[in-house]
A = this chain, B = another copy of it.
Amino acid sequence: MGLKLYELAGVADNRFSPYCWRTRLALAHKGLSAKTVPVTFGQKYKLTFSGQDRVPVLVDGDLVVSDSWEIACHLEDTYPDRPSLFGGDIGRGQALFVNTWADTVLTPGMFPLLVLDVFACADKADQPYFRQSREKRLGMSLEAAAAGQEDRLPGFRGSLEPLRMVLDRQPFVAGDRPAYADYILFGVFQWARLTSSYALLADDDPIFGWRTRMLDLFDGLAAKAKGFPL
C-alpha cells in the first residue's frame, strides 16, 4: 500500500506548487507520509492515469484522488481517527470558503508580484509552456503583468485585511491550533517563499508572524524546503 503524491517540480527539483503544499501539510497533520513523485510541467504524461493533468494527485491504495480540496476531504474521511483537518461538518463547510478566498483573492493578487520569479523557477525546458499558458490566463505578457509591482503592493496588502484581523486575534486561522484552513493559505505564501525574494509582507504584519509559525510546524517541514529569506 503506502501513499504516493504526485507534485509539481521546477528547476533543481523546486517543489513550489501552492496546491501541493496544502496536501503536504494535510498529510503531516494526519501523521501520514507519502512517497512523492516529481512532475515537471513537461511531464504531465505522468498524470495520465489520473484522468486529468493537474497536480497534486494522491494515490491511496487503489484510489486516485486529484484536486487539493478533494484530497483533503479524502484524508479526513479515510483517516477519521487521526487529527481532524476540519473539526466536523461546519468546519469543513467554512474551510471551503477559505479555499475559494485563497483561489480568487490571495493567489490572483499575489501572482503578478511573483510571476517573473516563478517563471525563472520553472524547469528551463518548461519555460515556453509556462509563458504561453500563463500569458493566455493573464491576457498579457508576463512582463506586462509584472509591471508596476510597487504600485500594486498596497492593494495586495489591503486585500489581506480579513486574514490580518483574524491573526491579530488568534494564532492560527483555525484558532489556537492550525488546521486545513491554515494549510490552504500558507501554501500560497510558501509558493512565494520558494520562488521569490520579494517582500510581500511588512515584518510587523500579524500575517508575517503566522507565516513563521507555519514554517515551524511538523519539525520545520515547510522551513526545510529551500526558499528565500523572509
Q: Which residues of A contact B (CB under 8 A)?
A: 84, 86-98, 100-101, 103-105, 161-163, 165-166, 169-170, 172-177, 179, 181
Instruction: Specify the main secondary structure of chain A where it touches its partner.
Output: helix
Say whether A169 contacts B88, CB under 8 Å. Answer: no
Say whether A84 contacts B90, CB under 8 Å. Answer: yes
Say whether B97 contacts A87, CB under 8 Å. Answer: no
- Bound Cα distance from A7 to B98, whole angstroms: 30
Say whether A98 contacts B94, CB under 8 Å. Answer: yes
Q: How far does the Cβ of A105 sit from chain B's closest Cβ, in whole Å?
A: 6
Say whether A94 contacts B173, CB under 8 Å. Answer: yes
Known: A87-B88, A88-B88. A93 touches B165 (CB 8 A): no
- Bound Cα distance from A130 to B146, whole angstroms: 43
A90: B residues at CB distance < 8 A = 84, 86-88, 91, 174-175, 179, 181
- Bound Cα distance from A105 to B194, whole angstroms: 30
Q: How far does the Cβ of A70 sit from chain B's closest Cβ, in whole Å?
A: 12
